[in-house]
């Protein structure tokens, strides 16, 4: 097990190196001269040249990449072009709302989606199964911003149960913090719930047809034990895989959700940086999210051995 963990960690190093190369290349992938784009239409040639020098664009590509990578290894993500603040500090100031939104969405998704998938598999072919799958298809088809605006209109503007927008830090109380995240979490989690519910149903249907399930029923095991102890445990590997893959949905959806509900998180920072062409901030955020996604995939691989003893590395 320890050797496998070490191998997986070592494998992530070239992956992150490739990601870093792509992130750094954003300056060159973007159309036009990055310095001219940042400077704007009214800038003088001297202004454009000053920006080129500040970004190091007057140096060879490999020299620029090597220097940028060396700073990354020292946890230096650069400096914002427009605010002149360290990118690391800007992300640190915005990370709490984003992590809170993603963690609450993940917990809510697991609490809702897995039982829905189990019940749908248990009642396969019934109206309950069809209703759950209809909800899953509908939720998966609706864009996050549409769900967000509908929720805000109904529960915030009409019923006035929850705040329309903004974020309350956890330090100011659990309930105010939770109130500010309920609607964004539901909007962000709809697609995730639909995805996990469908995969749970499919995986459970396959397991419920196995011989040991029929043997358990013949021995008089209760339906709850069969579904949640024996069947769900053996169906968990595909579910955990989709949970890990779905983190990409959370990362991408957080950008839209934070914009809809005016949450001052990393997603909102990303939108602002893109609109202002603040490339150091964009690079830092993309690199951070890529590292987070790679770390989640590593944890998913390690979880396999805990939920299924047949898997050994």
For 237-292, how does the pLDDT look when each residue is reduced to its tens digit (9 = 90+)? 788 888 888 787 788 788 888 888 888 888 888 888 887 777 788 888 888 888 88
Listing DSSP states for 213-249 in one string gives HHHHHHTT--HHHIIIIIIHHHTHHHHHHHHHHTHHH
In order of 185, 200, 203, 206, 207, the CA distances from 131 in angstroms are 22, 15, 18, 20, 22
pLDDT of 37 reads 65
Q: How far apart are CA 92 and CA 154, in angstroms?
A: 33
Residue 202 C-beta-side C-alpha neighbours within 13 Å: 12
pLDDT of 118 reads 85
Q: What CATH fold (topology level) applies to the domain 90-307?
A: MetI-like fold (1.10.3720)
In order of 35, 150, 163, 165, 176, the CA distances from 154 in angstroms are 45, 6, 11, 13, 19
CA proximity to 137, closest of 190, 84, 93, 176: 190
pLDDT of 154 reads 85
Q: How far apart are CA 115 and CA 194, in angstroms?
A: 12
φ and ψ of 123, to 5 deg: -100, 35
Q: How far apart are CA 68 and CA 202, in angstroms?
A: 46
Q: How far apart are CA 185 and CA 3, in angstroms?
A: 38
75 token code pair: 């946890």
In the three-class reduction of DSSP (H, G, I as helix; E, B as strand; rest coil), residue 124 is classed as coil
Nearest-10 crossing angle of helices 174-207, 144-151: 130
φ and ψ of 86, to 5 deg: -60, 135
* Tokens 């024996």 -> residue: 230
Q: How far apart are CA 172 and CA 188, in angstroms?
A: 23
pLDDT of 308 reads 66
Domain ranges of the chain: 2-73, 90-307
pLDDT of 180 reads 85
pTM, two decimal places: 0.80
DSSP 79: B
* Mean pLDDT for back-to-back runs of 10 residues, the chain (313 residues): 71 79 73 65 73 73 79 81 83 88 88 87 83 84 82 82 83 86 87 87 81 74 72 78 80 82 85 80 85 81 71 58
Residue 105 C-beta-side C-alpha neighbours within 13 Å: 33
pLDDT of 309 reads 64
């Amino acid at each position: 097990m320890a050797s496998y963990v070490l191998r997986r960690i070592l494998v992530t190093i070239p992956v992150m190196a490739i990601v870093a190369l792509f992130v750094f290349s954003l300056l060159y992938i973007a159309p036009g001269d990055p310095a001219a784009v940042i400077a704007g239409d009214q800038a003088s040639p001297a202004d454009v040249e000053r920006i080129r020098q500040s970004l190091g664009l007057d140096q060879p590509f490999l020299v620029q990449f090597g220097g940028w990578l060396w700073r990354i290894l020292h946890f230096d993500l650069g400096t914002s072009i427009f605010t002149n603040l360290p990118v690391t500090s800007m992300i640190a100031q915005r990370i709490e709302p984003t992590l809170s939104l993603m963690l609450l969405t993940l917990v809510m998704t697991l609490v809702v989606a897995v039982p829905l998938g189990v019940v749908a598999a248990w009642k396969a072919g019934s109206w309950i199964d069809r209703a759950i799958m209809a909800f899953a298809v509908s939720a998966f088809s609706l864009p996050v911003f549409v769900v967000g605006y509908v929720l805000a209109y109904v529960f915030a503007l009409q019923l006035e149960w929850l705040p329309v927008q903004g974020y309350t830090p956890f330090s100011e109380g659990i309930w105010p913090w939770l109130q500010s995240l309920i609607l964004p979490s539901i909007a962000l989690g709809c697609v995730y719930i639909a995805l996990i519910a469908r995969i749970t149903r499919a995986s459970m249907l396959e397991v419920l047809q196995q011989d040991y399930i029929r043997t358990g029923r013949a021995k008089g095991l209760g339906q709850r034990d069969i579904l949640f102890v024996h069947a769900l445990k053996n169906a968990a590997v595909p579910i955990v895989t989709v949970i890990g893959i779905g983190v990409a949905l959370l990362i991408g959806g957080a950008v839209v959700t934070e914009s809809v509900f005016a949450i001052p998180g990393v997603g909102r920072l990303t939108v602002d940086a893109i609109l202002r062409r603040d490339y150091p901030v964009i690079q830092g955020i993309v690199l951070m999210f890529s590292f987070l996604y790679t770390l989640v995939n590593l944890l998913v691989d390690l979880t396999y051995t805990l939920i299924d003893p047949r898997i050994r590395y």
